[in-house]
Amino acid sequence: RRHVYREIEMMLKFGATPSLIRCFGVRYLEGYVEIAMEYMDGGSLGDLISRHGAIPEPCIGSIALGALRGLHHLHQHHV
């Protein structure tokens, strides 16, 4: 459970950058943790591959760049 709370804390603290999904709020209700997060209508990378097959290299590059920007932001804050 502590791990979940740590992850939530990170989302709330560092989600104010375009490269990270935003967390709008969290509540604990009747034994469940409910998290309100930014909706990503494209689904996961796995969903994208399942629907469209192989992803062109320029698209993968763009996805990787976004992920690296998010990691860079977190590392700047010693996460």
pLDDT digits (tens, 9 = 90+) for 22-64: 888 888 888 888 888 888 777 888 988 999 999 999 999 998 9
The model's pTM = 0.68
Q: pLDDT digit string (tens) for 3-30?
A: 888 878 888 877 677 888 888 888 888 8
At residue 15, the pLDDT reads 67
CA distance 24 to 10: 12
